[in-house]
Amino acid sequence: MAKATRSVNENENENKNKNESEEKNLRKTTAKRALGFTDELPAAEPRRSKRIKSDHVPKQYEQVKVKREKKEKKEKKVKKEKKDVKLEDDASLLRVKAETDSNDSGSDNKLATPTKTKIASADLQAKKLKSYSQFAAARQSPYPDFPRPLPAECKLAHSILASLHGERKRPEEDGLTTTAPSSRAGCGDSASVLDALVRTILSQNTSDANSSRAKLSMDAAYGGSDAWAAIAAGGEAKLAKTIESGGLASVKSKVILNILHQTREKYGVYSLDHLFRSSSDEAMRELIAFKGVGPKTASCVLLFCLRRPSFAVDTHVHRITGLLGWRPAAATRDQTHAHLDARIPDDDKYGLHVLLVRHGRECEECRAGGKSLGRCELRRAFRKGKVEGKAGEELREDEVRHIKAEEDDVDDDVKG
């Protein structure tokens, strides 16, 4: 009897649930029809349609894309222009290295043909001469609206640096003659133009210690500092092995041998001493015509060996003159050379170059990676001009940030 009762109750519950489910489905169907939906259009479809982007969104994306493409195109154009102008010594070496790699890659490589190599060399020479002729040869700055450094500023900087590191004069001013150092490579320090040029090439993109080791190794291997015939006959592999301590040995060896071969072929001897009788312009043009020799290397030979007023710009000079606001912030080393060679008085070029290099190696604030602490006498002397905006807006803002940081450090020290 109890089982029969439970069965009846279960049947009633099932019928009740079934009726409720049917009523629920009926209400849903009625609601769909009221909204205009049919069985062929699932309810999920309008939810997807809500996620469809409006018509103006793609246009916005298209505008952003166009702006980005224009910006990228402009940046590429600026980079290309800088690349065409930047003909520094390291860039010359890298071009030589690229040609060397192409020649070593096999005879199937079309770029390895002598004709291609000669064309590339002629193009590089033409670009270097064009860059030099535009400004340096005419003693004009590529930045005519950038007046610094003024002659008085050069005198002031020279005086400050001399007080910090000692005065630097040409050897002949002290009754001495230029002699090649026996214990180091130097940078143009030789009475022989060819020797001065080779020493300067060895000093490219490396430290004095490394270039000196390379020069001493070369002298020991070939039996002297001017054994040019033995060096030329020994070939590239031997020379590269000999000077490997100086870095970029395979590239530098190719540059040196190329200079030796061209010099012997043109003049019948291993000598460039005829440049002592040439004008500074003629000497510069002949030197930078060599593959792997840029304005910095040639300027060093003119300054130290030929004893001409030429302001060489190495990494230290480029960095410090930027800190002083003596050049535009974006100026390359070649552009800086042309600008400063036109702005700095001739009688300050030798001493100022030597002292700036010395200062760039020894000053804690002005050396590579140094932090401005407000204690460098040279930078303090020129800070006022930078803050007043004479060095350009970017350098002015940078100096203002330095001043604020130093003031904050002082406040922290006082509070501490």
d(CA 105, CA 90): 22
Catalytic residue among 128, 291, 296, 386: 296
For residues 164 and 359, the answer to whether their CB atoms sit within 8 Å is: yes
Q: Is 296 a catalytic residue?
A: yes
For residues 252 and 200, the answer to whether their CB atoms sit within 8 Å is: no
Tokens of 93: 């070496």
> Can you state the angle between helices 114-131 and 280-288, rounded to 10 degrees?
150
d(CA 414, CA 323): 28
For residue 196, CA distances in Å to 154, 349, 367 come to 27, 19, 26
Q: Taking Cα atoms as reference points, which of 215, 204, 241, 245 lies closest to residue 92?
A: 204
d(CA 302, CA 196): 10
Per DSSP, 78 falls in state H
Give the amino acid at 317: V
**Cβ neighbours of residue 326 closer than 8 Å, sequence gap 6 or more:** 148, 149, 153, 340, 343, 391
d(CA 283, CA 304): 13
Residues identified as active-site: 296
